[in-house]
Structure 1
Amino acid sequence: MKKIILLSLILGTILTAQAQFPAGGFGGGAKKSTVTGRITATILDSLTKKPIDYATVSLVNAKDSKSVNGGVTDEKGKLSLQNISPDSYKLMIGFMGYKTKSVAVTTTPAKPDVNLGTIYISSTANALADVQVQGTKAVIENKIDRMVYNAEADGTNAGGDATDVMRKVPMLSVDMNGNVQLRGGAVRVLINGKPSGTMASSVADALKMIPAEQIKSVEVITSPSAKYDAEGSGGIINIITKKSNAQGVSGTVNTSAGTRQNNGSFNLTAKTGRLSLNTAVGTNLSYAQNSRVVIVSNTQLNSGGFNNVTQDGFSKWSRNGLNGSLGVDYDFNAYNNISSNVKFNRFSNGGPGQSEFITNGVISQNINDMDMTFNNMDWNVDYKKTTKTEGEEFSISAQLSTGRTPQSFSNTFIAQGATTGNTLVASNTGKNNEYTAQTDYTYPFNKKTTLEVGAKGIFRNIKSQFDNSAQDFNYNQNVGSAYGVISFDLTKKMKLKGGLRAEYTQIDFNTQTSGIQKNDYFNLFPSVILSQALKGNATLKLSYNRRVQRPTQSYLNPFLNSSNPVSLSQGNPFLSPELSDNYELGYSTFIKGSVINASVFYRRTGGVIESSLTTLGNIPLTTYINVGTAQTYGFNIFGSYNPKPKWTLMSNFGLNTYGVTNNITGVSTGTYMNYNIFARSAYGFGKGFNFELFGVVNSPRRTYQGKTDALFFYGASFKKEVLNKKGSFGVNVLNPFNRDLHIQTVNNSVTATGSVFQSQNIYYPLRSFGVNFSYSFGKLKFTEKKKIKNDDIKQEQQQGGGGMGGVQN
């Protein structure tokens, strides 16, 4: 009955939206040509007549100077901007060491394609006859509503995985287990605009499955409009993988081998006429290396019991991942399109370990083994209809996501002097099924005013079976939502985009001890973005939005994970969602190929979810609670600069406060400062040779009960283009001077039953050396299709796998 009510709500919203536009919907209203074309040109040096490769080009509207498209020139100085609507524009061409040049261009429905021919730009110096102009492709794009990190242009990513890529994305911070935060807040991670069932189990493990060579770009959206699901107090991260929709056959092959892991990926697209097929497969195989863990815990109960334990040992885990996808896209005609995609992931990690325990002065040994597997399949079907009215669009999407996460572990305890011991075995099989239906409609009243409406239903079921017993945990979560967004111009240079999203959530679950529990709630999520175009291609933006964080399976599952017998963990099905209000003021500008993006923000979050250290008997137990209310202030500044045509410097600095006040006790943590720094230097030697260096620093991280040490990563790569620039060969290195990262986490908790202290020292093997090769064939032409986006549940922020302190190689 509940699902019927939700579906009725969604259907009613769709019919209401369509009823509002009887004349304009699907062809009504002012008719405008939907014909789009392209602008092409060749950029040359005015003196040497040599091509300017990687010159930055921005296409701005001639009336309001708003940027509508852009790109960089290739090695022959050629530029091609696709999908350009008929209008009057200015083409702004910039490159370090050259004067910025503006070229007027007009496209019409009768002549949508314009070839500007050869455009010469002149140097700011008097004589450059002997200078060989070469540069490096832009890694960062600064768009009005997001920042885009072009991972495929960063050679230091070769041989890594998605976790390595995320560490270099501006504004993001990643801990040693791969958990991601955006400006100190939790995020929702999408892949090609869609959720993934593997992400629902553990973001950290899911990111390790994706070879870096499969990633085209990463989009960071700090101020999502009401059209997006309200999930993610910090914002949304969208990982775009390498795909194409090209006429004929095209593809890429990537492979890498190293001392830490081996990656491989293959992408293939074939298109003929209206039909397009694409497929991809990737694998990630890491070597098992010893990760040392030293844990000291002291538990003192009010009843008089105590337990003092020191654990010193290692885990030797391997990690193997496989992912693939198959997609089909068909255009019935110029206005109707249907597409479908199936994606699967399989990821497993684990292995043996051994530890020595000193428990209240008594020495013993534990031999343990762990196996964690993640299997997931996502299948989506999307239909899109456009009309002769430019910008009008209607879409219906459906998605099925199924996931299985079997886990098992064993511990054999051997007393001092003995040769055999008792073995304890435990297992847990999690099942996650998710069904989604979504519809969206966009109607432009005119060039200045656009309305967007839509509705969505998500039906989730999480089941968990402990130790091969009967069903122990069954969790149902149904979310029905509807939104409306309107965009319009206040003045020629000032634009406003405002909206409201309504979400109704139904939850019921049962556990062995609590029986059936219910938790239904309704929320409204307003959003508004005000942008002002300034002189010199600069933009000022002020935004507000309200967001939510729902806990996922790893937060909720009450399964007691005793893979480490002196450090237990368990989910909490009674968690409430986080709610946050976000305010941001941002400034961005483009100056002769250089980019500056700066922002200040304030976020107030109620019901903050964090890990909590308590006790089970006299053994430390980590679970999750709503600790209280947090107020966060911060700023972020990113810059990219070319001191010479061959040389690109890039840096990002982010700083935010941390402080939580418990709503019941009134106890506050005080205010602490968190920061993250990223720096990159890339140099093009010419003839296809490129060298890059990078470094990442994450400050110590505070939590309600403790602190984690700072992290520092650094690396380098050298790449040479081969095979007529269709291929490349490179070498890379990560942390060459230190095998391990030594990270200490300290937690201290006082509860009603006693107190507990825990210090965890992890020595994580990170140093690696590797070689890589990539090859592209065919002619790539990328297009984007509308996909379902489920971004409404909180991802695991402390989940890095089980075992000894969650350490993984």
Structure 2
Amino acid sequence: MYNNRYFYFTFFLFILNQVTSYAQHETLSVSGLVLDTQTNEPIEYATIAIMDTQSKEAITGTISAQDGRFSLETDATNFYIDISFIGYSTKTIHTFNRENNRIDLKTVLLEPALEGLDEVLIQAETSQTVFKLDKRIFNVGKDLSASGASALEVLNNVPSVSVNIEGAISLRGNEGVQILVNGKPSVLAGDDGSSLGIITADMIESIEVITNPSAKYDAQGTSGIINIILKKSEKRGLNGSASLNVGVPNSNSFGLSINKRTEKFNLFSQLGFGIRTYPTEYESINADLIDDITITNYGDSEFDEKFGNILIGADYYINDRNVITLSGSYAYEVEDQTASSEFYQTDASNTVTDRWHRNEYTEATNPKIRYELQYKSDFKRHEDQTLLFSALGNYFRKDQTSQFDNITTFGTMDSFKQQSRTDYKLEDYIFKLDYTHPFLEHYTLETGSQYTLNKVSNDYAVSDFAGGVWIEDPFLTNVFDLNQNVFAVYTTAAYEANKWGFKLGFRLENTAINTLLETTNQSDDQNYTNLFPSAYTSYKVSDDFSLQLGYSNRINRPSLRQLNPFSNIRNNYNISEGNPELQPEYTNSYELTSIQKYENISFSMSLYYWYTTDVIEYITVSQSNVSVSRPENVGTNNTIGFEANGKYSPLKWLTIHGDFNFNYFDRKGLFELQSFDFTGNRWTTSITAKVKLPADFDFEISENYNSKYETLQQTVSAINFVDLGVRKKIVKGRIILNLSIRDVFATRVDETTTTQPDFYLYNSRQRGRFVNFGISYGFGKGEAMQFSGQRR
């Protein structure tokens, strides 16, 4: 019995060996279809690997086509199949049917792997910062690109950059930062940053942080630049987000963002609409120190805004090296504002002599159109050799009417009514051409040009109600036209080795400005040409410590509000107006920065010096308790300062951001034979703690403090306020719940005082506490992009 069993067993092994030996010479065909388990969309470029069972190493493999299908052949006999794609859980198949030397896997569904970030951090490439001559580059690694994070979350991982829980972006504690996409303004980088919600981490190649911009960039002053570099042709299928927000005061909005990538096209769109309310409490005191007459005003206002917007765009990939982008957006806003103010006048004995109400009713509509065309070409010769052309257009219009009723409740002052009308139109066009040419091994030449056209028309009228009819006031009625054209050319040359490098650049700008008051035929023409040099050098002490030294010359051209001579009659006793003869400011900026990285700390310190000429300051004069503020060019300003900012993660669940900025200034000014020489200092600091709590809760609290400081005539009071927020992810990050509170203790009050020999002014303004709750749902491959469509 035993011998028979042994014989049969031996015979079985012999037959099996023969069959196996024969099969080793047979070729197997493996095919199938890879789909997203949630959207049923095909997954292009998924990796299909034939893995050896014993060694666990890949024997052969392929990638899926645009429709998700794949096919490959193998001679292996002892194997299993792995199917994977970035951002998805790997599918491992050990059991499959062979028929006629074919294995048909039919449909393979991949599940997004949103919860596996910690594992990816261990196995995959991590994000890192590279120090360049005039900027820092944060290369986005797989730890972020595979996580389904939004562009805002990527920015929050960049040293010196902070994004609060509402999505507001700041650079070294300053929110006045310009956001670029691929080196240029874009409809994806609007002022509120909400359009960034349709950019996911896997679309981003790197983030460039520029604190002292070179000659390549517009010489118009800015606190810094954040440039988001998108990958050339990543095909990621469909992803998007829908958001709903409610708040107190009224802050309700809905937003929808969608992005779809195919082999030739990247389609993106965004839709949003909502209503918001901004309440304000204010107080002002106008004291005539000669006649001892004081007018005090206190009241509140409510600004209601209804808005809707839509954005549509597409990238078309002509081939691997050429891409065209066309995009546009349209927004429409309806504004209503009501204000109720109480005025009273007192004499030298502090006795009330007159009292009256002033009520305001304002309505406005604002259509906005923005569109963009871009062409980018990469050269085969070098990966960094590029040619970029872009054209950006912007149109904005405001039709506004206001009515003011003064009702006397005590005293002899007559009641009266006023009306104001504004028909405002703005058109901006930017044409930009940039070429980058690397040569030899360490040298790069950049050159390009930019043409900017600004056209503004403001038809403004003030009318008084008399004799039952409205009569326009000729002294407060006019049409103001502004045309500003800026043409610029630039070139930079750089040498950059492993340890040391330098970069020199020159930018030549010609500015032509024409202002015209049509009714009175008053015009002012300005035409000037400026050369703006820049120079940078850096030394890399080690991989974790670098020094950067930079110089740039900048210009700050007056804004429309500063040039427009019309008076604001919202408060007849505190009037502000523009100055069409205002000249631009010029600043020489020097900066020495050290950047240090430790295992869980990034720290930056800067010493800076600014020398500014033709400084723009508001000069206030007062007569008969009516103060008029007007911008003027007054002298020079020397500023020396120190700035430090850092990001510290002592624990996996805790990250602390801190910013501190101190500067000392020395002003030299003379205006209408009056000396305005003075010295002073100011400092700001902020600290933010971000805590990851169990059950996918995130908590954030930040405190901000701005010190008291002085201008030519004013003293600006200190401000201290606290913001906090809580966020909860559910359904593997597909849904995000968010609660945020701005100015938790309602301590953010803007206060200014002006003390002069013949008058005293005091003004305060407070918005109060804002509470907002939002829910966002993400579909496709990414997490929910919170606050998409929300307008600030």
- TM interval, shorter chain, is 0.7 to 0.9
TM-superposed CA distance for 1:655, in Å, is: 1.2
- Amino acid across the alignment from 1:277: L
Cα drift, residue 509 of structure 1: 1.8
Shift of 1:739: 4.0
State the Cα deviation string for residues 248-296 of structure 1 (Å, max 9, x = none).
221122222221323432210122221121111234532353x222110
The whole-number CA distance in structure 2 between the counterparts of 1:63 and 1:680 is: 28
CA distance in 1, matches of 2:703, 2:196: 17
Question: Does the alignment pair 1:351 with 2:337?
Answer: yes
Give, in whole Å, the separation in 2 of the partners of 1:582 and 1:539: 20
Distance change (3 Å), C-alpha of 1:243 and 1:553? farther
Partner of 1:758: 761
Distance change in 2, residues 1:606/1:477 (3 Å): same
Aligned-partner residue type, residue 520 of structure 1: N
Q: Which residue of 2 aligns with 1:446?
A: 440
Q: 1:603 to 1:284 in 2, by over 3 A?
A: farther
Counterpart of 1:269, as a letter, is N
The one-letter code sitting in structure 2 at the alignment partner of 1:229 is D
> Could you say if the C-alpha distance between residues 306 and 194 of structure 1 is closer, same or farther in structure 2, counting changes exceeding 3 Å?
farther
**1:502 counterpart = 2:508:** yes
Q: CA deviation at 1:336?
A: 1.9
Instruction: Provide the residue aligned with 2:7 in structure 1.
Output: none
**TM-score normalised by L of structure 1:** 0.71
What secondary structure, in the 3-state scheme, does the structure 1 residue paired with 2:387 have? strand
For 1:277, the equivalent position in structure 2 comes to: 267
Conservation of the 8 A alpha-carbon contact between 1:536 and 1:589: no
How many pairs are equivalent?
641
Check if 1:567 corresponds to 2:574: yes
Match of 1:394 among 387, 403, 420: 387
Aligned to 1:406: 399
1:238/1:626 Cα in 2 relative to 1: closer, same or farther (>3 Å)?
Answer: farther
Distance 2:767 2:129 in 1: 48
Q: Aligned with 2:172: secondary structure?
A: coil
**Alignment partners' CA distance in 2, 1:307 and 1:209:** 48
Paired residues for 1:451-466 under 5 Å: 451-466=445-460
Q: CA deviation at 1:297?
A: 0.5
Aligned equivalent of 1:325: 311
Aligned-residue offset at 1:682 = 1.8
Q: Could you tell me which of 391, 397, 420 is aligned with 1:426?
A: 420
Distance 2:233 2:419 in 1: 47
Q: 1:254 to 1:245 in 2, by over 3 A?
A: farther
Counterpart AA for 1:510: L
**Map 1:560-599 → 2, pairs under 5 A:** 560-599=567-606
The counterpart of 2:161, out of the listed 132, 135, 148, is: 148
Query: What CA deviation, in whole Å up to 9, does each residue of 1:307-344 have, x standing for no partner?
Result: 53111222122233433311111011122211111123
**1:415 maps to which residue?**
408
Who is 1:704 aligned against? 712
Q: Report the CA distance shift for 1:219/1:396 in structure 2 as closer, same or farther (over 3 A).
A: closer
Task: Indicate conservation of the 8 Å contact 2:670/2:676, yes or no.
Answer: no
Q: How does 1:642-653 map to 2 (within 5 A)?
A: 642-653=649-660
Shift of 1:188: 5.9
Q: Mean alpha-carbon deviation: is it higher for 257-266 or for 54-63?
A: 54-63
One-letter identity of the residue aligned with 2:396:
G
CA distance in 2 between partners of 1:242 and 1:350 (Å): 43
Equivalent position amino acid for 1:459 in 2: L
Give SS of 1:555's match: helix
1:672 alignment partner, one of 680, 686, 706: 680
Deviation digits for residues 518-576 of structure 1 (CA, Å, limit 9, x no counterpart): 11111000011111111242111000000001112111111221122221121111110
Alpha carbons of 1:307 and 1:53: their partners in 2 closer, same or farther (altered >3 Å)? Answer: farther
Q: Which runs of 5+ in 2 are unaligned?
A: 1-84, 89-115, 202-206, 347-352, 463-471, 784-791
Q: Find the counterpart in structure 1 of residue 367 from structure 2.
A: 375
Q: Which moved more, 1:265-274 or 1:54-63?
A: 54-63
Work out which of the residue numbers 716, 720, 727 in structure 2 matches 1:719.
727
Contact 1:227–1:485 (CA<8 Å) still a contact in 2?
yes
Does the Cα contact within 8 Å between 1:731 and 1:770 map onto a contact in 2?
A: yes
1:773 matched to 2:775: yes
CA contact (8 A) 2:335 2:365 kept: yes
Q: Shift in Å at residue 455 of structure 1?
A: 1.2
Q: Contact 1:299–1:620 (CA<8 Å) still a contact in 2?
A: no
Amino acid at match of 1:734: R
Distance 1:63 1:521, change over 3 A: closer
TM-aligned CA deviation for residue 485 of structure 1: 0.8
Cα distance in structure 2, aligned partners of 1:220 and 1:758: 41
1:268 aligns with 2:258: yes
The separation in 1 between residues aligned to 2:490 and 2:117, in whole angstroms, is: 52
Name stretches of at least 5 consecutive residues in structure 1 with no aligned partner.
Answer: 1-38, 43-48, 82-135, 174-179, 181-186, 200-205, 782-808
Q: 2:691 aligns with which of 683, 686, 691?
A: 683
Compared CA separation, residues 584 and 779, structure 1 to 2 (3 A): same
Shift of the 494–645 alpha-carbon distance from structure 1 to 2, 3 Å rule, reads same
Q: Secondary structure at the match of 1:232?
A: coil
Q: In the alignment, which residue of structure 1 is the partner of 2:609?
A: 602
The DSSP-based 3-state class of the residue aligned with 2:561 is helix
Which of these residues, 116, 126, 148, is aligned with residue 57 of structure 1?
126
**Structure-1 residue corresponding to 2:296:** 310
Q: In the TM superposition, what is the alpha-carbon distance from 1:645 to its structure 2 partner?
A: 2.2
- Match among 224, 231, 234 for residue 213 of structure 2: 224
Greater C-alpha Rg: 2
Residue 60 of structure 1: CA displacement?
Answer: 8.2
With over 3 angstroms needed to count, the CA separation of the structure-2 counterparts of 1:759 and 1:263, relative to structure 1, is: same
Residue 354 of structure 2: aligned partner:
362
Cα 1:514–1:198, aligned 2, differ >3 Å: closer, same or farther? farther
Aligned to 1:730: 738
Counterparts of 2:131 and 2:655, CA distance in 1 = 30
C-alpha distance in 1, partners of 2:331/2:728?
A: 32
Shift of residue 229 of structure 1?
A: 0.6
Q: 1:681 to 1:486 in 2, by over 3 A?
A: same
**Contact 1:245–1:276 under 8 Å retained in 2:** no
- Going from structure 1 to structure 2, the CA distance change for 1:634 and 1:320 (only over 3 Å counts) comes to farther
Say whether 1:249 aligns with 2:256.
no
User: Whole-Å Cα distance in 1 between the matches of residues 608 and 143 of structure 2?
Assistant: 37
Find the aligned partners of 1:242 and 1:421 in 2 and give their Cα distance. Answer: 65
Counterpart CA distance in 2 for 1:693 and 1:61 is 29
* TM-score with structure 2 setting the length: 0.73
Match of 2:100 in 1: none
The amino acid across from 1:363 in the alignment is R
Secondary structure of 1:416's partner? strand
- Residue 519, structure 1, aligned to residue 526, structure 2: yes
